[in-house]
Amino acid sequence: MEMLVILIGIVMVGGVLVVPMVLRRRAGGDAMRGALRAGDPTAYGFVPRERLDVRLPGPDPELADALEEIQRTREWQPAARLLALTDAASELRWQRVQTLAGAAAHELAVSPGQGGMWLRTWRVEAPKDPGGAAVHAAFLVMQALRDPSSEDFRMIMEEARTVCAEAALLAPGDPVPYIVELGVARGLAYRQADFEELWAKVTERAPHHMGAHLAALLYWCEKWHGSQDQADAFAQSAAASAPKGSLLPALPLFAVFEHLPEVQLVRSLYQSEVITRAIEGARFAALHAPADHPVLPHVRHLLVWFLVRAERYAEAMEQLRRVDGHVGAIPWSYGADPAAEYVVYRALAVAGFEGDGGTPAHLPH
């Protein structure tokens, strides 16, 4: 889970946590059997597996067009144009920077030494372009976190910190370079005082930025330098201070996901007070956030995962109706086939919904 924010970028261009136990209905293994018998997903307006877009968590036609043009031409200009036209203060800019960096990282992984050459060319030909610097910094963090045990890990992270500073100088009001540096802070184990100084620079520019809070949450998590209590306290504080329309009330659900036990033997875990409260916070955030909020699909995808496990199938179907078609999001992204993981949960939701008497006619369109 420590790669949550990094995977937000990488899997948009396509990673899948193996489900530690088969979800079961009240009667035992009925859910999986029912899922395998579930009807055609198109009956609910769902997209067939082969047409699911693993690059993005939700629709962004301009970004999709830029990625396709980059892939076709191997040129960096489509990315530069896209970021130049994207409001520096918007969460959309952070998400697009992450996605472009993830595209370069994915290409390099597929074709070592050659993939992602457009990003290197971008930095050489337009060294003062703040978009290129931000994407380069995010790319370096992703490269380092792909293998934290590598002997090159610290060297790449130090380079990322340098490029973050360059990007910040090129665009002083842009929070993205500082948000990217939150990943550096985690990797290089910044002292708490240094992290808080960095966090102050982020919040000065974007106090309620959901992507920034997702990045900061990981610093406080037990797998890095903090503890479950610290992560929970950070998430709860952010949720409590969230302005109207913010996605921050969903942050505790991400904190819960981060600290779930590897082996989950208690069926009622997902119906416990802690998880129920986190689910309700995320549902509240999803209901009241702007419909076009770029991070909203991430919240909805995580809600699907939790709602299916909590056997709240009708609510899971409602979230699926709003995100189906794109699967480049946590939690589907921990492995090589996000679409396969997503399709299993979608089928479980359909089977549970129909097992409770639901039909396509019962699902609003």
Closest CA to 215 of 257, 253, 168, 251: 251
Confidence of residue 239 (pLDDT cuts 50, 70, 90): very high
Secondary structure of residue 173 in the 3-state scheme: coil
Confidence of residue 27 (pLDDT cuts 50, 70, 90): very low
Confidence of residue 29 (pLDDT cuts 50, 70, 90): very low
pLDDT for res 365: 60
Task: Return d(Cα 282, Cα 249) in angstroms, integer.
Answer: 6
Confidence of residue 266 (pLDDT cuts 50, 70, 90): low
Q: What would the pLDDT profile of 319-349 be if each residue is shown by its tens digit?
A: 999 999 999 898 998 767 899 999 999 999 9
Does the pLDDT of residue 214 top 60, yes or no? Answer: yes
Does the pLDDT of residue 3 top 80, yes or no? Answer: no
Work out the mean pLDDT of the chain and round it to a whole number.
87
What's phi and psi for 225, nearest 5 deg? -125, 0
| Residue with token string 């998430």 | 235
Confidence of residue 38 (pLDDT cuts 50, 70, 90): low
Task: Return d(Cα 117, Cα 160) in angstroms, integer.
Answer: 18
> 180, 137 in Cβ contact below 8 A?
yes
What's phi and psi for 238, nearest 5 deg? -65, -45
Q: Let me know if domain 61-207 sits in CATH 1.25.40.
A: yes
pLDDT for res 22: 33
Q: Which tops the pLDDT comparison, 92 or 8?
A: 92
Q: What are the residue ranges spanned by the domains of the chain?
A: 18-54+245-365, 61-207
User: What would the mean pLDDT of 170-184 be, rounded to a whole number?
Assistant: 96
Q: What would the pLDDT profile of 52-94 be if each residue is shown by its tens digit?
A: 998 899 999 999 999 999 999 999 999 999 999 999 889 999 9
Task: Return d(Cα 326, Cα 7) in angstroms, integer.
Answer: 15
**How remote is the C-alpha of 148 from its chain's centroid?**
19
